Amino acid sequence: MGFDLGSLLQQYAGSNPTNHAQAQNDFDQVAQNAPQSHLAEGVSEALRSDQTPPFPQMVGQLFNQGDSSQRAGMLNQLLGGIGPGVLSSIAGGAFGSLFGGHGNANANADVPQLTPQQASAMTPEQVQEIAAKAEQDNPGIVDRMGAFYAEHPQLVKGLGGVALALVLGRMAQGRQR
């Protein structure tokens, strides 16, 4: 018999899933079998939840766990959400030097893309600061990051059982609609 995504997710359909240890194992199955858009919705919900650490803290945690390419991808998503005008004022001015002082007030200008090497020079604390600014300036950044993390489910596992149970619960609720 094949994998039954619906039955597995049904276990998490309650408003407060409690089997956090099992969520670690179940998440792998779901990430391999569920549509990426559904996974992104669930991750975004966990990033917003008051049952998990604040969004900036989780982004910093996931940044710390990512490889250099994933780190660059995370930062490029965040920076795309805030525009270049604020780059020199955040993360201790780190972006002014990375981009040769290219920071202007035009938030619609193209933001330079960080390389994996540049991203590796950033600390999780700087990334938390960037995430906080991005969330403040553009609340939609949470969905953007949820979509990014759905492309990298191995990173999401680093959030722990509570967050994974929330991801799975949100996905179960989405299937019920």
Q: Name the strand (E) or helix (H) holding 149.
A: helix 141-150
Q: Residues 106-133: what's their mean pLDDT?
A: 82
* Closest listed residue to residue 84, CA positions, set 64, 109, 52, 62: 109
Q: Quick one: DSSP state of residue 52?
A: S
Q: Residues 88-96: what's their mean pLDDT?
A: 63
Q: Which range has the top average pLDDT, 6-10, 49-53, 110-114?
A: 49-53
* Closest listed residue to residue 76, CA positions, set 57, 92, 63, 93: 63
What is the pLDDT of the chain when averaged over all its residues?
83
Res. 95: pLDDT tops 90: no
- Which comes out higher in pLDDT, residue 62 or 82? 62
Q: Would you state the structure tokens that stand for residue 177, as one six-digit string?
A: 């609609």
Res 86: pLDDT: 64
pTM score of the predicted model: 0.83
Res. 59: pLDDT tops 80: yes
